[in-house]
Chains A and B, each alone.
Chain A
Amino acid sequence: MLLKVDNIQVYYGAIHAIKGISFEVNEGETVALIGANGAGKSTTLKTVSGLMHPKAGSIEFLGKDISHIEAHKLVAQGLAHVPEGRHIFLQMTVQENLEMGAFTRKGDLTDALDNVYRHFPRLKERRKQIGGTLSGGEQQMLAMGRAMMISPKLLMLDEPSMGLAPILVEQIFDIIRELRKAGTTILLVEQNAGMALDIADRAYVLETGKITLSGTGAELAQSELVKKAYLGG
């Protein structure tokens, strides 16, 4: 098992944001966390990547407890987190952004860059452009490309479709499919439940800090509850 989250409790100051969540991600799987705004999806990812720490419970990555390790130390272990809202470096060029993604790697980056540019030809065209001048979709591609620079063992994507035009959402999901096919393990957080369930091997439904449902992507897509609450039907 690659990632095992066991009964974590997370607080934002006095606010109890995550109330005992458990889930797991196996190697090669694509797992989706779906749920409404404020359900705790982003907080869960932030806690896994070490930007936040749980008050109780444990997070195991590659068999080791990482629940209190700082984020920057987890990157070198192969944990990549593409945060909600991209968070690219707006004043750096596309290529510099990608180089920052490889901060923990030593030596030649040519192969890693080529790999990213193969998935995102658009980034190659714009590699000398400043990040702040990219469109929203391009910034999302850059954020994902940047995370891929370490060839992560687990790639966590937080709302990759947020704020993008439908055609771009399709494009981003096509790329996620490609990454999945190439064997990348993915933990995907999405409000766009339809797209997420379509792509996911398994999925969990989060509601106000708790997991209320889980199953394969197909099972959940058929569930009346999910249909009603998240698929608009």
Chain B
Amino acid sequence: MALLSNFINGLGLGSIYAIIALGYTMVYGIAKMLNFAHGDVIMVGAYVSFVSIASLGTPPLLALVMAMAVCTILGVVIERLAYRPLRASASLAVLITAIGVSYLLQNAALLIWTSNTKVYPSIVSFAPLHLFDGKLTITGEMLISVLTCIVIMVGLTLFTGKTKTGKAMRAVSENRDAAELMGISVNRTIAITFAIGSALAAVAGVLFCSTYPVLNPTVGSIPGIKAFTAAVLGGIGSIPGTLVGGLLLGIIEIFGRAYISQELSNAIVFAVLIIILLVKPNGLLGKKVNEKV
């Protein structure tokens, strides 16, 4: 039963990783850059919802919506001011800028909210489910995380597969010049991608802090890095790959923590990443198609 319980916890954590990883994957797939500030957008989302619940007394769902709105705007502004001017620059310059934006957000959070760790009030209000005479407990946060992840995955798959904007995103992701020649504004498409990814980061921030109720200005960086790992593990650029990578990472982390070593759980996670990438360099579901010339 402990095994099942760990598995379910892993799924819950993995779902949150998957939601964060979507932000990395979409931005990488479409803008061809690693947005290392993504983890800190999670933190901003968590703080906005925290302030909204704790100071303004808004209901949790409204707090979530506010966090999403603020993060969406933040994501678009970051892209417009920090990344767009570097669109034609070397990818290293963009990478360093992203790291700079990450520190900027963390330090801004330090200024606004101080370094004092806050206890985050969970947005999930219903009681945990007790199954098998209380031997198996499923918390509301786990359940909501998994369900939210499923809804987002299905929603995004439909969005990129069926809608005109979604198809434009796929086109830009594959070939920027060709997309531009189809009449697709690459800049606008990238801005939309940042908007979606950042809104998802807010969702992930709220879920993560609801599950692990600790809030400080660096709260986003570790889940951010792990979600990035999940994206690479699953095959960066692929939505199903992100789901697989996120869930796998969550499960490995929880199992590593439970059965091998609490201290080494992060090392185990990254060791698995290295092994998988040695065998499958494009990630589990990543693919490579060659152009015929």
A residues less than 8 Å from B181 (CB atoms): 49, 51, 71-72, 75, 80-81, 83, 87, 147
Asked if B125 CB lies within 8 Å of chain A CBs, one says: no
Q: Could you count the A-B residue pairs with CB atoms below 8 Å apart for me: how many are there? A: 87
Contacts A132-B290, A163-B293 known; A103 to B183 CB distance under 8 Å?
yes
Asked if B171 CB lies within 8 Å of chain A CBs, one says: yes
B residues less than 8 Å from A101 (CB atoms): 182
Contact of B178 among A83, A104, A163 (CB under 8 A): A83
CB proximity of A143 to chain B, nearest CB, Å: 9
Measured between alpha carbons, how far is A71 from B179 in the docked complex, in Å? 10
Contact B174 A90 (CB under 8 A): yes
Interface hits, A51-90 → B, CB 8 Å: 51, 70-73, 75-76, 80-81, 83, 85-90
Contact A104 B183 (CB under 8 A): yes
Contact A90 B186 (CB under 8 A): no
Interface hits, A134-150 → B, CB 8 Å: 134-136, 139, 146-147, 150
Measured between alpha carbons, how far is A176 from B111 in the docked complex, in Å? 65
CB proximity of A108 to chain B, nearest CB, Å: 14
Contacts A90-B174, A99-B167, A100-B171 known; A85 to B293 CB distance under 8 Å?
yes
B residues less than 8 Å from A80 (CB atoms): 181
B residues less than 8 Å from A81 (CB atoms): 181
Hey, what's the 0/1 contact readout for A87-111 against B, CB within 8 Å counting as 1? 1111110001001110110000000
Measured between alpha carbons, how far is A50 from B177 in the docked complex, in Å? 10
Contact A88 B183 (CB under 8 A): no
Contact B180 A71 (CB under 8 A): yes
Hey, what's the 0/1 contact readout for B179-219 against A, CB within 8 Å counting as 1? 11111111000000000000000000000000000000000
Q: Would you give 7 A-B contacts (Cβ < 8 Å), ordered by A?
A: A85-B293, A88-B178, A89-B171, A91-B289, A104-B183, A130-B289, A132-B290
Extra A-B contacts (6), CB below 8 Å, given A80-B181, A132-B290, A139-B292: A75-B183, A91-B174, A100-B184, A103-B168, A134-B292, A147-B181
